[in-house]
Structure 1
Amino acid sequence: MSLVAAPMAIVDLANSADQLQQAMEVEEEAKAEQQQQELGAGEQELSYSILMKGVRHLSDSGITRLPDRYVLPAPDRPGAGLATTTSTSRVKLPVVDLSRLRDPSQRAAVLQTLDAACRGYGFFQVVNHGVDGAVIAGMLDVARRFFELPLPERARYMSPDVRAAVRYGTSFNQAKDAVLCWRDFLKLACHPLRDVVASWPREPAGLRDVASGYAAASHGLFMELMEAALQALGIAAAAADGGVLGELAAGSSHMMTVNCYPACPQPELTLGMPAHSDYGLFTFVLQDHVEGLQVMHGGRWLTVDPIPGSFVVNVGDHLEIYSNGAYKSVLHRVRVNSTRPRISVASFHSLPAERVVGPAPELVDEAAGKPRRYMDTDFATFLAYLASADGKDKTFLQSRMLLHGAASSSSSIHTYHAHI
């Protein structure tokens, strides 16, 4: 009987194996179909929940086609329009050497360079700043490792609250942006530093110590450059004299945004960050060796040649207003590429959020032909503007201008607030 049962058992096992194989194939086909739908293959649009996981998640999943939500209208794409760029459209920004600025015998010459850069470019690079190379390398390292964390670990810090001390997200405002940009970010409030560090992510290892050390160094450089800029503008700059520098010494706003721009399957259709200006006094940008930052100058988009170990610094809306239009808060954007991820760390420095900012009294003289060019503004006014304006072409700085005929070079700014 066992001799008869054995072949029967073999047949049963074979049938079971066939059934199992068929079930596995069906299951794999279902998984493949689901993955195809999630990854946006063909004409499929990614589901909202997948999009909200960010571009690092999309890039890691191996997509080969850009999801529709990331495709810019043709006129807004990187190579469109007259203000376009080519691989050779590059710029070496003016260089401010802080070692020379600290030398009394050379300070005047460096102040002239700083003044010309703020008036003509709105951007410059800072070298010989004295920030330890280990601090810079450490910041880029923990930034990179944060975005390498598993998604659930990063997602713990997702928040719709733009005022949250810690906020992980994607695009600018993924809940409202009509077209998403190819960027994930970690926002860290940095003031007062001793009070906010405990709310920062514990992982990756060392993030709190490294990022707080970097934030302190960035703030120190900001205070030094702000003093120099005020001196170049002819405004009493010593903290002991009071004025804006004294206010900054007593209290300020400081926010740091760590940006990740993963490799993009179709970089010609999207941007890491669209054209925008920064809301504040000065922004300090630390970037790795992968280029991507572009500045609008002379009607063209120019790719910034990064100097290793330097900081790229740009004038913000607050400084343009405070300088009564002498210094320019100009358009800049970020392009992405198909082969290499890019990491940058932007530190935004300004006066406290509740502080009203207007032109410096020293720079307004109606009788001398120096009329007031801007209305006063504060952060609440800016947030109200964001809430009321269309998501594209937010010209906040232009909305504060009193004399549009004598407009600054930023009158066409798309003011997407890089802080939030």
Structure 2
Amino acid sequence: MVTSSVAAAQRVESLSSSGVQSIPKEYVRPQEELTSIGDVFEEEKKKDGPQVPTIDLKEIDSEDEVVREKCRQKLKQAAVDWGVMHLVNHGISDDLLENVKKAGKAFFELPIEEKERHANDQASGNVQGYGSKLANNASGQLEWEDYFFHLVYPEDKRDLSIWPKTPADYTEVTSEYARQLRSLATKILSILSVGLGLEEGRLEKEVGGLEELMLQMKINYYPKCPQPELALGVEAHTDISALTFILHNMVPGLQLFYEGKWVTAKCVPNSIVMHIGDTIEILSNGKYKSILHRGLVNKEKVRISWAVFCEPPKEKIILKPLPETVSETEPPLFPPRTFHQHIQHKLFRKTQDTLLSKKV
């Protein structure tokens, strides 16, 4: 457990509320990135150019085969073209979504000293709990966010001792949301399986099935930033997960790198944003995309997002393109690796890229 005096110095919320007019240099992005960081509110208003697709799941299980297939085809196409989409009519009630958001917001509204009781200790490998990013690359750069991270499903693998006790309904609403998301993940994976010409349950089996697929929730808290044109809430990355589901508090910030340009996602009421992660990109041999994305910050509003990463077990499964996705004209694009090896490969490559850019 990190002592509050040490940890508080690392909290972006403390920095933001201290009234600083300029951000510390470790939060300033490299020059080549700064040219692409604009005002997120202006960016969200843009009507020209590509837009993140919205997929209406209302007819996903329609008894009318033509209607059902049309809906499923749209989802598959969004996974092929974008690898990210807004899901509406997803079957999870607006009330539950609101209660999840209220509970997470209430935790972050607690005094920092209170939140520090849940602090993680990244140095010792204990990543669950309340934290801020430590520099994990050679540049020493930091992101403008604090977070709360914990495993939410399967239920027998959770550590409820680190879950917030305040607000009182945090465990109840978060557990129910995780259960319903897990069912939604099964549905999505079965559609993506069929889209590859596989049997319905295949992708789910390949990522660990009901027993082994882990749902990890990360509540991202992006405080107001006095110089949002210099910082990022989350730097550009692809998700390592199979699927990622995201809620947010209707403050824009998510950007996707699509066809060579950064596209700002609109805020779609009652939607869940869904990303295809690296795991599914690998299994599909690149047919489904894991899109590069990042988070912008602003000086007017706090942004909060709730990301749930559906991750395969770290060591039990070898991730590689499924045989059915490979042919003479489509050789495997990815070498066999465990999920853990894939994470290590990405961290190593990022560190090497940073070192090389410093030498140039």
By the TM > 0.5 criterion, same fold?
Answer: yes
Structure 1 partner of 2:193? 230
SS in 2 for 1:139: helix
SS in 2 for 1:286: strand
SS in 2 for 1:268: coil
Q: Distance in 2 between matches of 1:307 and 1:210?
A: 22
Q: Which of 46, 68, 73 is the equivalent residue of 2:25?
A: 68
Contact 1:197 1:208 in 2 (8 A): no
Contact 1:78 1:270 in 2 (8 A): no
Change (3 A) 1:87 1:351: closer
Identity of aligned residues (%): 31
Structure 1 partner of 2:57? 98
Change (3 A) 1:224 1:52: farther
Answer with 335-344 or 376-385: which moved more. Answer: 376-385
Q: Distance in 1 between matches of 2:301 and 2:121?
A: 28
Gap runs ≥5 in structure 1:
1-47, 395-420
What TM-score does the superposition give when structure 2 sets the normalisation length?
0.86
Instruction: Kindly provide the amino acid, as one letter, of the partner of residue 229 in structure 1.
Output: L
Structure 2 partner of 1:164? 126
Change (3 A) 1:243 1:179: closer
Structure 1 partner of 2:357? none
Higher relative contact order, structure no. (Cα contacts within 8 Å, ≥ 6 residues apart): 2
Deviations along 1:292-312, whole A, 9 cap, x unmatched?
A: 111111211111012111111
The yes-or-no answer on 1:151 pairing with 2:112 is: yes
Quote the offset at 1:370 in angstroms: 2.6
The yes-or-no answer on 1:131 pairing with 2:96 is: no
Structure 1 partner of 2:70? 109
Quote the offset at 1:164 in angstroms: 3.4
Contact 1:264 1:338 in 2 (8 A): yes
Structure 2 partner of 1:13? none
Q: Which of 313, 331, 334 is the equivalent residue of 1:371?
A: 331
Q: Distance in 1 between matches of 2:13 and 2:204?
A: 46
The yes-or-no answer on 1:382 pairing with 2:342 is: yes
Question: Where do residues 173-322 of structure 1 align in structure 2 (5 Å cutoff)?
Answer: 173-174=134-135, 178-199=140-161, 200-238=163-201, 243-244=205-206, 247-322=208-283
Change (3 A) 1:393 1:262: farther
Quote the offset at 1:350 in angstroms: 2.8
Contact 1:79 1:268 in 2 (8 A): no
Question: Where do residues 46-85 of structure 1 align in structure 2 (5 Å cutoff)?
Answer: 49=6, 52-77=9-34, 79=36
Query: Which structure has the larger Rg?
Result: 1
Change (3 A) 1:215 1:80: closer
What RMSD, in angstroms, separates the aligned Cα atoms of the two structures? 2.6
Change (3 A) 1:80 1:60: closer
Contact 2:250 2:269 in 1 (8 A): yes
Deviations along 1:61-88, whole A, 9 cap, x unmatched?
A: 222221222111221226369xxx9565
Q: Distance in 2 between matches of 1:165 and 1:102?
A: 38
Change (3 A) 1:242 1:212: closer
Q: Distance in 2 between matches of 1:334 and 1:202?
A: 29
Q: Distance in 2 between matches of 1:365 and 1:243?
A: 22
Contact 2:127 2:149 in 1 (8 A): yes
Question: Where do residues 31-50 of structure 1 align in structure 2 (5 Å cutoff)?
Answer: 49=6
Deviations along 1:47-73, whole A, 9 cap, x unmatched?
A: x95774311111222222212221112
Contact 1:169 1:185 in 2 (8 A): yes
SS in 2 for 1:185: strand
Quote the offset at 1:206 in angstroms: 1.7
- Give the number of equivalent residue pairs: 339
Q: Distance in 1 between matches of 2:97 and 2:35?
A: 30
Change (3 A) 1:263 1:208: same
Contact 2:8 2:112 in 1 (8 A): no
Instruction: Kindly provide the amino acid, as one letter, of the partner of residue 103 in structure 2.
Output: V
Q: Distance in 1 between matches of 2:142 and 2:240?
A: 21
Q: Distance in 1 between matches of 2:274 and 2:28?
A: 29
Instruction: Kindly provide the amino acid, as one letter, of the partner of residue 216 in structure 1.
Output: R
Instruction: Kindly provide the amino acid, as one letter, of the partner of residue 335 in structure 2.
Output: M
Structure 1 partner of 2:320? 358
Instruction: Kindly provide the amino acid, as one letter, of the partner of residue 336 in structure 2.
Output: D
Q: Distance in 2 between matches of 1:138 and 1:149?
A: 17
Deviations along 1:159-204, whole A, 9 cap, x unmatched?
A: 1158536222113x34666111101111111232244152222223
Contact 2:130 2:147 in 1 (8 A): yes
The yes-or-no answer on 1:329 pairing with 2:286 is: no
